[in-house]
Structure 1
Amino acid sequence: MGLRDRISNFLLKQVEKRGWFEDIFNNTIRYGGRYVNDENILESSDVYELLQDISNQLMLANIIIEDNEGNEVKNQSALKVLRNPNNYLTGSEFIKLMTNTYLLHGEVFPVLDMDQLHLATNVYCELDERLIEQFKVGGESIPSFMIRHVKNVGTNHLKGVGILELGKNTLEGVMSAEKVLTDKYSKGGLLAYLLKLDAHINPQNAAQSKLIKAILDQLEAIDESRSVKMIPLGKGYSIDSMKSPIEDEKILAYLNVYKKDLGKFLGINVDTYTALTKSDLEKAMMYLHNKAVKPIMRNFEDHLSLLFFGRNSDKRIKFKINILDFVPYSTKTNIGYNIVRTGITSPDNVAKMLGFPEQNTPETQAIYISNDLSKIGEKKATDDSLKGGEESEEKGNAEN
């Protein structure tokens, strides 16, 4: 059996055994009595939202191939693989999974197996005596030309760092606090009642048992805080409420401080990002793009280019992101209005009339507002009209 078949069979067995997604997300860290792994970390809405915002930008990017002069290269087989990497992931799902794994673990291992692209897990890697990185998956060696080690580099040249490691203490504290609040309110706020009796409870006392059961039924029927129940009690009976020992305000204050720290491990300031999303979504997306997405995108481009084309090729894989995909329709309308307004004020004579500064270029001086059927930038109609005007002027002078 060839090397390619052995690797393919191993990858297939992993998929069949427990599912590729589950296999990718299997690392667990234990701290302070609370387990934090890459499955339950997504239970935290704040972490999930930040991961979604970053990975969605990469997911929506158009992937192209360029030569060393920046010209787009068409009809490359690499693009077919990137758009349909394998039988269980689409191209967009693959990029999103690759990004989330990279952010959580700090490293990800894309494997190119002929016309299929996979993300390998449980990879052991080391540098040999010639400083060439060697890879093993389940004891099987994988040639270095088939696999890339994409790292979120910290201070180690052979291992990346992700949020599970960088933010371990913060994550576990935040998730423990979230779990306490969730458990409290999912269990009715842990509000209990203490029934006091002056006399001993006697199971044989039918009247006493009936009264206790009626009281319990009334208490259990309280399904929300606004409900009011009137329970008439006989002599010797009283009901006291036991308040939950969990103090919401202190836990919420803790979360308000430390949840923001999670953004730092993803490369953004949560306060800045949140403020921008409320005031200007386009600026928020550009902030996220420049602070977090762009470095990841460059790293992915480098490694995928080497994986598909090798070191000696002049071809390069590029991610093209249209930031307008992330802004509302009203913002796009305003952008379109501004473009039209700029076009209207391009001719110097119109700019002067409307109070805008003149550009004083041959192009802006040659444009006439009467050329409404010609596209701005196409000077043929303008040139013809200008030429016709000059001929008329010359003819008039000759006649005189």
Structure 2
Amino acid sequence: MGLRDRFSNFVYRQLEKRGVMEDIYSNSIRYGGRYANDDSILESSDVYELLQDISNQLMLADIVVEDEEGNEIMHHPVLKILKDPNNYLSGSEFIKLMVNTYLIQGEVFPVLDGDRMHLASTVYTELDDRLIEHFKIGGETIPPFMIRHIKNIGTNHLKGIGLLELGRNTLEGVMNAEKVLTDKYKKGGLLAFLLKLDAHFNPQNGAQSKLIKAILDQLEAIDDSRSVKLIPMGKGYSIDSLKSPIEDEKILAFLNVYKKDLGKFLNINVETYQALIKSDLEKAMMYLHNKAAKPIMKNFEDHLSLLFFGRDSGKRIKFKVNILDFVTYSTKTNIGYNIVRTGITSPDNVADMLGFPKQNTPETQAIYISNDLTKIGEKKATDDSLKGGDESDKEEGNADR
């Protein structure tokens, strides 16, 4: 990895001298493509909630580095990069953004720039005759070892597929329906009035124009549903309320059907998930984890491992989720109780007294009760007891025996 880092830094310095890298990253990050559509997707509350639930699981996971035997490597420099990837995103924000981009756009491009990481957009990719993938941002080539193309794979080997493409028609319908209802109630239910004139309207008639303007001013001044306006009107004028053409029941029925389809594009059955949330939150989180989060974690692990360590290294990035985070407090209490109960029944004489089967091992047959018990709570008390304690403790222990 040392040689790889030196080569990476050399390439970066050469590009930096030409002023290329600064332009590439600033344009790619600040002026990313399709940002308007992506933001619009998040305006749908149901989609936003599902994306949050999935990305939060990865954000809350512990990221570790493992060697070939699966042993965790503590304080590896890569962990520092993942914890503080750049000057504008924290490690948690970086992971959430990576997941959301991956799910919405179907692909995401993490870039390793020395000791900094970025998520590039508007990346152009192509395969050459030797089936090697090449990357360009703003017409400039990015070395393959500095970037990874993480794809939400469908049937295309070069391009991932996300919610933006999979559910485009459904999504647009849902978003339009939600916007219609939101706008309607924002504007007081679209309550409108129709001013009817029996007489011929004459723009040159000053008195008539003043009267109409006064009526309209009165109607427009109604900004509260509890307001009451008394408008005296002359002969030939009448006001009728105009019913809103937007029918809530039909729109809600449409949303009830098609909103659930959006979850399927995120690999979630919304009905199942919502039912589990109401009945058993632990099962709901495990359902979400196994159906959506776990496959993403595996894909991210593969690509980030290659990005940081290359193909020839046995080191690996791992996302580790604490399953107990999904367990209720009462369940954790039961787990703790069971551990304590197991400890109580470990000595054979106690197990026999309480009606549990003896284990019949040298450890469980020995009796370790001594004055060491009075040291519980003192610093290193358990360490001392494991080492046999000091000489006085040994003598006291022998005396007890």
> Shorter chain as normaliser: what TM range?
0.7 to 0.9
Q: 1:335 — aligned with what?
A: 331
Change over 3 Å in CA distance of 1:76–1:261 after alignment to 2: same
Q: 2:148 — aligned with what?
A: 148
> Tell me, what secondary structure is at the counterpart of 1:38?
helix
Q: 1:103 — aligned with what?
A: 103
What's the CA shift for 1:3? 3.9
C-alpha separation between the residues in 2 aligned to 1:351 and 1:341? 16
C-alpha separation between the residues in 2 aligned to 1:48 and 1:101? 12
C-alpha separation between the residues in 2 aligned to 1:264 and 1:365? 57
C-alpha separation between the residues in 2 aligned to 1:177 and 1:102? 26
What's the CA shift for 1:5? 3.9
Change over 3 Å in CA distance of 1:278–1:172 after alignment to 2: same
> Tell me, what secondary structure is at the counterpart of 2:184?
helix
Alignment of 1:235-314 (within 5 A): 235-314=235-314
Q: 2:168 — aligned with what?
A: 168
What's the CA shift for 1:302? 0.7
Note the alpha carbon deviations across 1:152-202, whole angstroms, 9 max, x for none. 111122211111111111111111222222333333333211112332345
Q: Which moved more, 1:297-306 or 1:342-351?
A: 342-351
CA contact (8 A) 2:351 2:358 kept: no
What's the CA shift for 1:263? 0.7
Q: How many residues align?
A: 373
Which amino acid in 2 is paired with 1:273? Y
> Tell me, what secondary structure is at the counterpart of 1:289?
helix
Change over 3 Å in CA distance of 1:7–1:234 after alignment to 2: same
CA contact (8 A) 2:194 2:239 kept: yes
> Tell me, what secondary structure is at the counterpart of 1:141?
strand
Which amino acid in 2 is paired with 1:246? I
Which amino acid in 2 is paired with 1:266? L
What's the CA shift for 1:226? 4.3
Which amino acid in 2 is paired with 1:339? I
C-alpha separation between the residues in 2 aligned to 1:341 and 1:273? 30
Change over 3 Å in CA distance of 1:345–1:365 after alignment to 2: farther
Change over 3 Å in CA distance of 1:228–1:325 after alignment to 2: farther
Say yes or no: does 1:13 pair with 2:23: yes
Note the alpha carbon deviations across 1:341-360, whole angstroms, 9 max, x for none. 32454345989999xx8465
C-alpha separation between the residues in 2 aligned to 1:365 and 1:276? 47
Q: 2:393 — aligned with what?
A: none
C-alpha separation between the residues in 2 aligned to 1:339 and 1:364? 22
CA contact (8 A) 1:350 1:369 kept: no
Change over 3 Å in CA distance of 1:118–1:351 after alignment to 2: same
TM-score when normalising by structure 2: 0.79
Change over 3 Å in CA distance of 1:351–1:265 after alignment to 2: farther
C-alpha separation between the residues in 2 aligned to 1:200 and 1:177? 40
TM-score when normalising by structure 1: 0.80
Percentage of pairs with the same residue: 69
C-alpha separation between the residues in 1 aligned to 2:128 and 2:287? 41
Say yes or no: does 1:27 pair with 2:34: yes
Structure 2 portions without partners, runs of 5+? 1-9, 389-395
C-alpha separation between the residues in 2 aligned to 1:276 and 1:365? 47
> Tell me, what secondary structure is at the counterpart of 1:39?
helix
What's the CA shift for 1:6? 6.0
What's the CA shift for 1:304? 0.7
